[in-house]
Amino acid sequence: MDGPADRLAEFRRHGGRLEAAAALFPDAPRPWLDLSTGVNPRPYPLRRVPRAALARLPDPRETAAAEAAAAQAFGAAAEAVVAVPGSEAALRLLPRLLGARTVAISGATYGGHAEAWRAAGAEVVRGAAGAEAWVVVNPNNPDGALTPKADLIASAERRWTIVDEAFVDATPEQSLAAKAGRRLVVLRSFGKFYGLPGLRLGFVVADPGLVAKIRLAQGDWPVGAEAVAAAQAAYADDEWAADTRARLTRDAKRLDALLRDAGLPPTEGTALFRLARAPDAAVLFLRLAQAGILTRPFDDAHRLRFGLPGTPRAWTRLARALRGEAA
């Protein structure tokens, strides 16, 4: 029989594998509580676009308006911002456009970066000193670690410096988007903070010359009508963003307390997820999964990442499962 580590393998790549979890744990209570991603569990109240908008291709002027709304929210110039179908698409595209032959990727982080650079023929090396490109996830996934802004700005004087800010919206003061340009490239994700990852919307903030290359590589319609409408509405809604940041901060502290009560001190993370240390994370992952709660395991056998519950019922369900009580 497979051991716990064998059964976790397919869940280590990224979160959100509910179908795989349901197949592996057919007797788990339904519906599943998905805490495996760092996505805001209370999404932006987006109005659906009219059918007429879906019956035609997005007008380039509408896409430009969405980019301008994002640029204003980021504190960047509109000509420095380009929409992409999710920041994942951008991190896969950039290695081919930048042409760096060696890249350093800071710390234990999202594996898609190394995968993308290797697929483009680059060598992933240790240490940024001699590398032609440096990739930093800031704040980092899964531990929330921050690389000082000054270090990143200085790096861009010597090499391509790509800063993945997928989780920065909850703490926008940590963003470098306003400083992007020349060899400093910033990636931004829409879906995580706004709770709508299925829209597949992200942005690259960069020198206008690189922005032009990205536009050419993507073609005339990089994102769909719903993503265009979402960007225009959500990025202009400062009140919702401020309220959401405050709520996420409160909920992250609440999750910390719940995990501590269960003997799982959360030492790291962001306002969108917490990383807890467990004596045997694999066993805990399986126990929670049997209770219909999906979390995020890692190769490190002593850490497990928890997203935020989004409803009172979800909070109660997680608390009971952590105590070992039946659902």
268-320 confidence digits (pLDDT tens) = 999 999 999 888 888 999 999 999 999 998 877 788 999 999 999 999 999 99
Q: Do the domain assignments include residue 261?
A: yes
Token pair in block for residue 4:
């716990």
Q: Do the domain assignments include residue 33?
A: yes
Cα radius of gyration rounded to whole Å, the chain: 20
Q: What is the pLDDT of residues 176-232, one digit of tens each?
A: 999 999 999 999 999 999 999 999 999 999 999 999 999 999 999 999 999 999 999
Q: Are residues 34 and 125 in the same domain?
A: no
Decide which of 183, 201, 236 is a domain's last residue: 236
Nearest to 290 by CA among 2, 6, 7: 7
Q: Are residues 190 and 254 in the same domain?
A: no
Token pair in block for residue 219:
């073609």
Distance between CA atoms of residues 42 and 150, nearest Å: 34
pLDDT of residue 20: 84
Q: Are residues 97 and 162 in the same domain?
A: yes
Q: Are residues 15 and 162 in the same domain?
A: no
Q: Are residues 29 and 55 in the same domain?
A: no
For residue 4, pLDDT beyond 70: no
Decide which of 215, 236, 257 is a domain's last residue: 236
Q: Are residues 79 and 201 in the same domain?
A: yes
Backbone φ and ψ for 139, nearest 5 degrees, come out as -70, 150
Q: Do the domain assignments include residue 315?
A: yes
Whichever domain contains 188, its CATH number is 3.40.640.10
Q: Do the domain assignments include residue 117?
A: yes
Look up the pTM and report it. Answer: 0.94
Q: Are residues 263 and 142 in the same domain?
A: no
Q: Are residues 268 and 318 in the same domain?
A: yes
Decide which of 177, 208, 236 is a domain's last residue: 236
Q: Are residues 257 and 268 in the same domain?
A: yes
Q: What is the pLDDT of residues 231-265, one digit of tens each?
A: 999 999 999 999 999 999 999 999 999 999 999 98
CA torsion, ordered 193, 195, 199, 200, to nearest 10 deg: 40
Tally the domains of the chain.
2
**Number of CB atoms found within 10 A of residue 120's CB:** 18
pLDDT of residue 1: 38
Whichever domain contains 305, its CATH number is 3.90.1150.10
Q: Are residues 226 and 269 in the same domain?
A: no
- Domain membership of residue 194 as a residue range: 51-236
Q: Do the domain assignments include residue 170?
A: yes
Q: Do the domain assignments include residue 220?
A: yes
Q: Are residues 227 and 247 in the same domain?
A: no
Pairing of strands 303-307, 296-297: antiparallel
Q: Do the domain assignments include residue 143?
A: yes
pLDDT of residue 182: 94
Q: Do the domain assignments include residue 327?
A: no
Q: Are residues 82 and 133 in the same domain?
A: yes
- Three-state DSSP string of the chain: CCCHHHHHHHHCCCCCCHHHHHHHCCCCCCCCEECCCCCCCCCCCCCCCCHHHHCCCCCHHHHHHHHHHHHHHHCCCHHHEEEECCHHHHHHHHHHHHCCCEEEECCCCCCHHHHHHHHCCCEEECCCCCCCEEEEECCCCCCCCCCCHHHHHHHCCCCEEEEECCCCCCCHHHCCHHHCECCEEEEEECHHHHCCHHHCCEEEECCHHHHHHHHHHHCCCCCCHHHHHHHHHHCCCHHHHHHHHHHHHHHHHHHHHHHHHCCCCEEEEECCEEEEECCCHHHHHHHHHHCCEECEECCCCCEEEEECCCCHHHHHHHHHHHCCCCC
